[in-house]
């Protein structure tokens, strides 16, 4: 059974709204218990962003042509540069003790930034190419 373009987009939109709802629920629960920014909240938010980006990109990525390969290749290249920048900034913030995060929070923050950067760069490049 072949999925149509609308069914694939609809799936990612529903998943995006579910992740958005879960992230709002987790943020509210974290704030109400006084333990805000445990780390997992940002992962849910970035998963929602990823699902919305994939809903937008689904018709283009469904066809595995040269254009979609170029978007993926360039997107990963630009994301790599930004991720290195995030790491340098975080290292400086830790070195000068401007922020104080534990290991789980730091990994969650980097994971979230990576997911958001990669998929938003795909969307930006899909408009360009």
pLDDT at residue 3 is higher than 60: no
CA 97/CA 29 separation, integer angstroms: 28
For the chain, strand residue ranges (E) read: none
Residue 17, CA distances (Å) to 12, 45, 83 in order: 9, 10, 26
What phi and psi, each to the nearest 5 degrees, are found at residue 31?
Answer: -70, -40
pLDDT digits (tens, 9 = 90+) for 47-99: 999 999 999 999 988 888 899 999 999 999 999 999 999 999 999 999 999 99
Domain count, the chain: 1
pLDDT band at residue 17 under the 50/70/90 scheme: very high
pLDDT digits (tens, 9 = 90+) for 111-127: 999 999 999 999 999 99
CA 68/CA 73 separation, integer angstroms: 9
> What is the span of the domain harbouring residue 37?
5-128
Q: Which residue reads 């290991």 in tokens?
A: 103
């Amino acid at each position: 059974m072949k999925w149509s373009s609308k069914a694939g987009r609809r799936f990612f939109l529903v998943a995006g709204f579910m992740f958005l709802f879960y992230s709002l629920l987790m943020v509210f629960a974290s704030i109400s218990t006084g333990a805000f920014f445990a780390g997992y909240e940002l992962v849910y938010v970035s998963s929602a962003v990823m699902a919305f980006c994939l809903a937008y990109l689904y018709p283009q990525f469904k066809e595995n042509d040269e254009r979609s390969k170029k978007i993926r290749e360039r997107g990963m290249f630009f994301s790599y540069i930004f991720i290195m920048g995030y790491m340098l900034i975080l290292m400086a913030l830790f070195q000068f003790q401007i922020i104080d995060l534990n290991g789980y929070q730091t990994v969650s923050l980097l994971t979230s930034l990576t997911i958001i950067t990669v998929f938003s760069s795909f969307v930006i490049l899909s408009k360009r190419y």
